[in-house]
Amino acid sequence: MARYSLDKNKIKILLLEGVSESALEVFEKAGYTNVEYLKGALGMTSL
């Protein structure tokens, strides 16, 4: 079977404001290790 996706440890996920913290748990349970959760929006200098 052909493989079309990167390994889960190579995918970076950034969850920003308004996302439930349970989403972080869902990604981690699915095997994603590079998940970052920020309760607020990024500042202009970070964009």
Distance in angstroms (rounded) separating the CA atoms of residues 31 and 40? 25
Contact 13, 32 (CB under 8 A): yes
Tokens 């970076």, residue located = 12
Distance in angstroms (rounded) separating the CA atoms of residues 12 and 47? 16
Distance in angstroms (rounded) separating the CA atoms of residues 6 and 46? 26
Q: What is the pTM for the complete model shown?
A: 0.69
Q: What is the pLDDT of residue 1?
A: 55
Q: What is the pLDDT of residue 17?
A: 87
Q: Would you list the domain boundaries of the chain?
A: 1-47
Contact 35, 23 (CB under 8 A): no
Question: Per-residue confidence at 4, pLDDT binned at 50, 70, 90?
Answer: low
Residue 40, pLDDT > 90, answer: no
